[in-house]
Amino acid sequence: MPSTHHLVTPLSKDDIRKLRAGDLAFISGTIYAARDAAHKRMTEALDAGRPLPFNPEGQLIYYVGPSPAKPGRPIGSAGPTTSGRMDAYTPRLLKLGLAGMIGKGNRSRAVMDAIRDNVCVYFAATGGAAALISRCIRSYTVLAWPELGPEALAAMEVEDFPVTVVADCFGTDLYEEGRKPYQHI
């Protein structure tokens, strides 16, 4: 039976070792919004020997490019974007101490190996549930590259953000295992 976890960032390795593919988790605390362009910029910063705009130790990156906030709201709709586009950048960030990612969709072999080898985790948020997810987001603060618009790197305060563990640190991939009982072709 899948377990339910309440997690507060930053995550410790002990927190991560308790998670199993298929478990539900509610995440609270600061998470970092970044997608394609911000990952490219982060990689360029590391190549140039500059620090990242945030300390990745134990933190989670959420792959999201929100819609604009209406007046009085911290953020617009904010569901996950496809994680696979960030595969090329992810192993390096995990080696630097990043605890994991929240997104949707399958990851490359290299990312899955890096998740296992560095004791990390990959969560899925529900793609398409963007208005619902935005209700868990208390604040959205751009940290770097505001010219990227919805692709800027931002810190988000979240409360009980619902996610599913897709890849745990033991090498299990829910996208592979989850469909097996229902596959009849």
Residues that bind another protein (CB under 8 A): 2, 22, 37, 64-70, 76-79, 81-82, 84, 104-106, 124, 126-132, 134-135, 149-150, 162, 164, 166, 174-175, 177-185
Q: Which is nearer to another protein, 109 or 184 (CB)?
A: 184
Listed in sequence order, the residues at least 6 apart from 43 whose beta carbon sits closer than 8 Å to its beta carbon are: 89, 92
Task: Evaluate the CA torsion angle 71, 32, 23, 128 in order and state its sign.
Answer: positive
Distances (CA, A) of 139 to 22, 73, 119, 162, 183: 28, 9, 29, 17, 41
Q: How far is the CB of 22 from another protein (least distance, A)?
A: 7
Task: Name the residue nearer to another protein (CB basis): 129 or 142.
Answer: 129
Smallest distance from another protein to CB 6, Å? 17
Distance, in Å, from the CA atom of 35 to the CA atom of 103, rounded to the nearest integer, reads 10
CB-nearer residue toward another protein: 58 or 162: 162
CB of 60 to another protein, least distance (A): 18
**In the complex with another protein, which residue's Cβ is closer, 28 or 77?**
77
CB nearer to another protein: give 12 or 110: 110
Q: How far is the CB of 50 from another protein (least distance, A)?
A: 22
Are 5 and 24 contacting, i.e. CB atoms less than 8 angstroms apart?
yes
- Least distance (Å) from another protein to the CB of residue 65? 6
